[in-house]
Amino acid sequence: MKPILFAAALSLCSLASSAATPLYLDNNAPLEERVEDALSRMTTADKIAIIHAQSKFCSAGVPSLGIPELWTSDGPHGVRPEVLWDEWDQAGWTNDSCVAFPALTALAASWDPAISRLYGESIGEEAAYRGKDVLLGPGVNIYRTPLNGRNFEYMGEDPYLAGVMVAPYIQGLQSKGVAACVKHFALNNNEVNRHTTNVIVDDRALYEIYLPAFKAAADAGAWSFMAAYNLNGDEHMCHNKRFLNDILKGEWGFDGAVISDWGGVHDTREAITNGLDLEFGTWTNGLSSGASNAYDNYYLARPYLKLIESGEVGTAELDDKARRVLRLMMRTSMNPAQRGSMCSPEHYTAARTIGDAGIVLLKNDGNVLPIKTEGDVKVLVVGENAVKMMTVGGGSSSLKVQREISPLDGLRAALDGKAQVEWVRGYVGDVTGEYNGVVTGQDLTDSRSAEELIAEAVDKARGADYVIFVGGLNKSAGQDCEDADRTGLELPYNQDAVIEALAAANPNLVVVNVSGNAVAMPWVNKVPAIVQAWFLGSEAGNSIADVLTGAVNPSGKLPFTFPTSLNDVGAHALGAYPGTQRADSPIVDLEYKEGILVGYRWADAKNTKPLFPFGHGLSYTTFEYGDATVDSKTIGMGDSITVSVPVTNTGKVPGQEVVQLYIADNKASVVRPPKELKAFKKVALLPGQTEVVKFTIGKDALSFFDDKAHAWTAEPGKFTVLVGSSSRDIRSKAAFTLTDKAVASK
């Protein structure tokens, strides 16, 4: 195991101390010199060994050099429990229960880069403590359809928001000596047919929508990327020349390692030449399952060695792959700064802080919230999601937690001594609770009929001061889960009927939706208060209670649109999902016909009325915006422009506001979205306090990707700055002109 090998390396050092530490082990030497020194000491067999897995989640080191093996682990929200060497099932350890942090949709909904840094550092400490060198996350695939089963693992529909929010997570994680593995590169925007979908997308949509968050991750210094299962140009992403060699390593200068998704490699020669560096999870019977411990059968194992030994291929690509894996090792498994802690109070506090910052108050008519607890208040909590564990399930991001505070637990703790809290089931959803051998231990069986459950809830609701319905999705198959998409926007398990009945029984109804996707809300006009609560992990109940009781003033904003219907989503309006299977092959062609018009870009272009728009989120206070002003009315191509807008907390409690800046190109030679998010700032304001929020933007914020020139281009002309509290709550505008002529200095 790793410690022994590395200790061997260190003893090698001590033995060699008289002969000076070998360069590759000298942490003070320049990285590239260390890589070259190690490479020069390796045989071809050594190099082959380190570019493919030797177990379910680890790849080989170089024993003769004392270089330890490389350990990876899921996932983006917490460190997965140990599995058996060559199995998915857990190993049954007793010391690998972790802290589950909120899902990345919740992080994106915080719109706070500082929260993202906290997230990365906290999860990095958990991973380092567990001896993991590569954390298989974060994911930044764009939210193209609300049906995608894995949207809860990603950061929403807008490339700028996702890009700004993913960078600090990566840098925080890697500051602990653990590599990010940014996934799933690229165009993995739905789970149905994920291994066989050949995505067809125009270059403007590719470069303006689907690549920017990945580029931001590469620019942030990510040490590894995970290539996706799907195809583009009929080439699997795990060995796709255009995406891995030309774009990631060529245009972006990525110096890290490309790791395959598990089972995403299908061809040795393509894997050799098209940019794959580290092969994991291959089905070594070549079809659909893995002969056990058959790692020598991997495409980059014996088959590759044979091609080299026969002289059919050279070793240039092998050396490049080995360099990249060695670089990854020296940044992680050989990095003395790799250290951490697990299940610490700080990590629970971080999980709760992230959850508090990400919860979105969607509606609060009559200021039903926060719960007022003067007098003898009765609070009825209804719904399976008030008690069901959400950290088990959902696919590879599933976890074995040390603890998980349910919404009911959280509310009971927060209202202890202040209100009577009672719970009723309301509906029966998914009573299972197991993933890869991790079980929740909850017995959620309930044989009562839907009618009986509703009758009980309504009866209790009539006598309550508040009714808190906690429902939504639950990460079971088809309900926000890997390898399956939802089949519609509707809430499952008859929840709509329960909500309607409760709304008729009590005017103080609060619906808490736990999900990583938008859902339909046919009852939206009958429910005064609605909270989007995400999958919040170990501290879920405490964060939800923090917001419902007013201990925390909600400040989250939606990272994606809640459409009123699927027909208000480009992918569905144009019949561009899930694609069409070819007559003579398993390949499914899926053309992203909506192009750049994804999310609010489509809503604005088609003038649809979302249920709740991108960037929406209320507060228990109110904010007033003054007039937005620009410091120049005309700027040249090399200039920047500063936009200033005074924002005042006009309410009675402290709060945070996410001030959003969108840009509209008044007249372009190409179709452009009516507006696009190009800056945002989360500001904390005391009652009565005003802050002049300033944004400085340049040509990049005005540009579109010119697919003919294959370059970002800003066209001279008039632009409008739109500043607001959401994409549909624009509070102030300002105009300016971009010119390609020299402009007198300000």
Q: Which residues are catalytic?
A: 261
Q: What distance in Å separates the CA atoms of residue 24 and residue 1, rounded to the nearest whole number?
A: 20
The pair of three-digit structure tokens given for residue 704, joined into one six-digit string:
């579109």
3-class secondary-structure state, position 737:
strand
- Give the torsion sign (CA, 26, 30, 31, 33): negative
Q: Residue 229 CB, nearest distance to ligand GLC (Å)?
A: 7
Binding mask 27-66 for ligand GLC (x = CB under 6 A): ----------------------------------------
Nearer to ligand GLC, 262 or 695 (CB): 262
Largest CA distance in the chain: 85
Nearer to ligand GLC, 271 or 603 (CB): 271
Q: Which of 70, 106, 136, 679 binds ligand GLC (CB under 6 A)?
A: 136
Q: Is 396 in the site for ligand GLC (CB under 6 A)?
A: yes
Number of residues lying near ligand GLC (CB under 6 A): 6
Residue 681 contacts residue 717 (beta carbons within 8 Å): no
Nearer to ligand GLC, 262 or 298 (CB): 262
Phi, psi of 477 (to 5 degrees): -55, 130
Q: Is 261 in the site for ligand GLC (CB under 6 A)?
A: yes
Residue 320, C-beta contacts closer than 8 angstroms, at least 6 positions apart: 277
Cβ-based neighbour number of residue 556 at 10 Å? 32
Q: Is 191 in the site for ligand GLC (CB under 6 A)?
A: no
Nearer to ligand GLC, 184 or 672 (CB): 184
Nearer to ligand GLC, 227 or 738 (CB): 227
Q: Is 732 exposed, middle or buried (0-12, 13-18, 19+ CB in 10 A)?
A: middle
Q: Is 262 in the site for ligand GLC (CB under 6 A)?
A: yes
Q: Is 183 in the site for ligand GLC (CB under 6 A)?
A: yes
Nearer to ligand GLC, 281 or 407 (CB): 281
Nearer to ligand GLC, 139 or 615 (CB): 139
The pair of three-digit structure tokens given for residue 478, joined into one six-digit string:
């088809």
Smallest CA-to-CA distance from 659 within 704, 689, 624 is with 624
- DSSP H/E element including 412: helix 407-414
- DSSP H/E element including 617: none
Q: Residue 396 CB, nearest distance to ligand GLC (Å)?
A: 4
Nearer to ligand GLC, 116 or 224 (CB): 224
Binding mask 511-540 for ligand GLC (x = CB under 6 A): ------------------------------
The pair of three-digit structure tokens given for residue 149, joined into one six-digit string:
């089963």
Q: Is 224 in the site for ligand GLC (CB under 6 A)?
A: no
Q: Residue 264 CB, nearest distance to ligand GLC (Å)?
A: 8
Q: Is 560 in the site for ligand GLC (CB under 6 A)?
A: no
Q: Residue 102 CB, nearest distance to ligand GLC (Å)?
A: 18
Q: Is 493 in the site for ligand GLC (CB under 6 A)?
A: no
How far apart, in Å, are the Cα atoms of 312 and each of 47, 54, 393, 649, 653? Answer: 17, 25, 45, 70, 72
Which residues, 601 to 660, sit near ligand GLC by CB under 6 A?
none
Q: Within 13 Å and on the Cβ side, how many CA atoms surround 13?
A: 13
Q: Is 279 in the site for ligand GLC (CB under 6 A)?
A: no
Which residues, 61 to 120, sit near ligand GLC by CB under 6 A?
74
Q: Residue 263 CB, nearest distance to ligand GLC (Å)?
A: 7
The pair of three-digit structure tokens given for residue 526, joined into one six-digit string:
């009958």
Instruction: Note the residue count of the chain.
Output: 746
Q: What is the identity of the amino acid at 181?
A: C
Q: Residue 743 CB, nearest distance to ligand GLC (Å)?
A: 48
Residue 133 contacts residue 338 (beta carbons within 8 Å): yes
The residue to which tokens 């590879």 are assigned: 396
The pair of three-digit structure tokens given for residue 238, joined into one six-digit string:
């795990």
Residue 662 contacts residue 628 (beta carbons within 8 Å): no
3-class secondary-structure state, position 331:
helix
Q: Residue 261 CB, nearest distance to ligand GLC (Å)?
A: 5
Q: Residue 267 CB, nearest distance to ligand GLC (Å)?
A: 19
Residues that bind ligand GLC (CB under 6 A): 74, 136, 183, 261-262, 396
